[in-house]
Structure 1
């Protein structure tokens, strides 16, 4: 909806990883450098960790978009809460080997034949495993054993492990010493800085044809960083809702209070409780009730604070309901117009 109002060519803050929206922050650029270095070694494991939503998957999407498709064959595994045996079979399936009804010895032979055929054609196999923190020790050992498979004395499989920070603690286990010895590159992807958060937002807006409408105030950028901590996925989620807010209000400027209101609404939707309001109280009925109750209660009267908090929650709920009514009305208008053109 908002992309039409602001005349964008697409959705700038979609949550699905897309290499077109890759923003080369200092941390992401270094992570790419580590990935490229690891690939240049032609063997072993490459590890990238980071908080949920830090951009690990987008990082690999970007890398894959730059690799020569005639040189690499890529396989991916996203389901990792499985046994070692199941992970082995998932790996076979990811490389196009049908594992149904075949024993492990037969599958290993088929896997070696595949690697040999690719190597003869000058191709290398790359396995990407996401959510590596969920892998069991047995599953990690299966990956290590697969990394030992070689063709004519050369390793034919490289593995990129993407995981949350706790994966590093798991990797420190004495049982994984042999796997650690095969790690050739490792990088921890941190959040964006406040300056990078602003640049990230502008970069993604520019990618869909933004020409300054809507304008963003300095306070808006600051508020986005304050609520998201510089985590890209959180930024995307918040900014997408902020732009919807702006479109519904038919605003050509995104302000700090608009970000505050949207962040509160998001937290209310996701956690059932509103976040602390960053803006000044309004003049609506709920605010007046809260002020009156607060004034009538003594400073030490906890009931006064409870009533004021309840009034504040009523205020937030009123604003949320009013905004959603505008959303529904706008949707009705859009669909009505669509049906009219079809007639």
Structure 2
């Protein structure tokens, strides 16, 4: 609705994880560097945690985009972690293009080991990313630990990245997962954006969407946005979107404190 009014080429504050809009704050730069390092050095298990809406999924999409440009890397993406051990193995084999009838009684671990080894011998690397990993059951976590044992004399056959909310940290501290925890060699926890980063984030999104100086958020509007969202990117997107709509309704190219206050009231009404 307000896109044409502000002269934007696209909506700047959609909540979809579009890598084009990724704002690399210091914490996001560090997170991406940890992920790249873990993959490059073949560390096996990599864990990335952060609060809801902090940008984990956008980082994941960015990383996948980078890996897809490398012909020597095959990627596996698991978006539904509420699966059984058997379903996990089926999903991995399916993502690798291996056709296995679900009614089959073959040893799936042996078949997966064979499939991975074949790719490693052909110069491939296999990276698996599991999103919302805090929802993995203990049994599936144990299966992942066993999969991490698959290796040649000099490298792991499968690198595993777990992305999840802070509850994943709590799960990893459980005594029964101590063997799993010992295998995590790269770990990073995403932090919220500070006030200056929040301002840069808003401007980055606007510029990426084609802004040429319009619209403009006042200092106090940005101050209120950071105070309400505490630097959580997804909340910033939601609030800025509604604040832009409020400014559009009153026919203004400047988003002020009052527009943000009205946007907050709308968000609270929505629950």
Corresponding residue for residue 84 of structure 1? 85
User: Relative contact order (C-alpha < 8 Å, sep 6+): which is higher?
Assistant: 2
1:21 aligned partner = 21
C-alpha deviation, 1:82, in angstroms = 2.6
Matches of 1:17 and 1:2, distance apart in 2: 21
Q: Does 1:42 align with 2:42?
A: yes
> What is the TM-score of this pair, normalised by structure 2?
0.93
CA RMSD of aligned residues (A): 1.6
Q: Which has the larger displacement, 31-40 or 95-104?
A: 95-104
Question: What do the CA deviations read for 1:88-119 (whole angstroms, capped 9, x no partner)?
Answer: 333333333344222350x3333223212322
Pick closer, same or farther for the CA change 1:241–1:144 going to 2, 3 Å. same
Q: Which residue is equivalent to 2:104?
A: 102
| 8 Å contact from structure 1 (residues 77, 94) kept in 2 | no
Structure 2: tracts of 5 or more residues without a match: none
How far has the Cα of 1:139 moved from its partner? 0.7
**Range moving further from structure 2, 18-27 or 37-46:** 37-46
CA distance, structure 2, for counterparts of residue 131 and residue 210 of structure 1 = 34
User: What is the rounded CA distance, in whole Å, between the counterparts of 1:216 and 1:222 in structure 2?
Assistant: 10
What runs of 5+ residues in structure 1 fail to find an aligned partner? 272-343
The answer for the alignment partner of 2:115 in structure 1 is 114
Given that 1:126 and 1:159 are in contact with CA atoms closer than 8 Å, whether structure 2 keeps it comes out as yes
Aligned to 2:51: 51
- Name the SS of the counterpart of 2:27 in structure 1: helix
Partner of 1:125: 126
Does the Cα contact within 8 Å between 2:43 and 2:186 map onto a contact in 1? no
2:224 equivalent to 1:227? no
Check conservation: 1:141, 1:179, Cα contact below 8 A. Answer: yes
**1:79 to partner: Cα distance:** 1.0
- Whether the aligned pair in 2 keeps the contact of 1:97 and 1:110 (CA below 8 Å) is no
Which position in structure 1 is the counterpart of 2:5?
5
Aligned pairs for 1:133-144 within 5 A: 133-144=134-145
1:267 aligned partner: 268
Within 1, Cα distance between the matches of 2:70 and 2:191?
29
Query: What is the alpha-carbon distance in structure 2 between the residues aligned to residue 197 and residue 112 of structure 1?
Result: 45
- Paired position in structure 2 for 1:341: none
Q: Alpha carbons of 1:251 and 1:175: their partners in 2 closer, same or farther (altered >3 Å)? A: same
Task: Identify which range, 173-182 or 229-238, moves more after superposition.
Answer: 173-182
| 1:60 paired to 2:63 | no
Counterparts of 1:12 and 1:97 in 2: how far apart (Å)?
A: 40
Query: 2: CA distance between counterparts of 1:13 and 1:154?
Result: 42
Provide the rounded CA distance (Å) in 2 between the counterparts of 1:257 and 1:82.
46
For normalisation by structure 1, the TM-score amounts to 0.75
The count of aligned residue pairs is 269
Change (3 A) 1:75 1:117: same
Q: Quick check: 1:17–1:57 contact (8 Å CA) kept in 2?
A: yes
Contact kept in structure 1, 2:89 and 2:109, CA below 8 Å: no
Tell me which residue corresponds to 1:191: 192
- Quote the Cα distance in structure 2 between the aligned partners of 1:267 and 1:95: 44
Question: In the alignment, is the contact (CA less than 8 A) between 1:115 and 1:151 conserved in 2?
Answer: no
- Measured in 1, the distance between the counterparts of 2:122 and 2:9 equals 41
Question: Aligned-pair distance for 1:232?
Answer: 0.5
Alignment of 1:135-214 (within 5 A): 135-151=136-152, 153-214=154-215
Task: Verify the 8 A CA contact 1:28 1:189 in the aligned structure 2.
Answer: yes
Kept in 2: contact 1:50–1:163 (CA 8 A): yes
Cα distance in 1, alignment partners of residues 36 and 105 from structure 2: 35
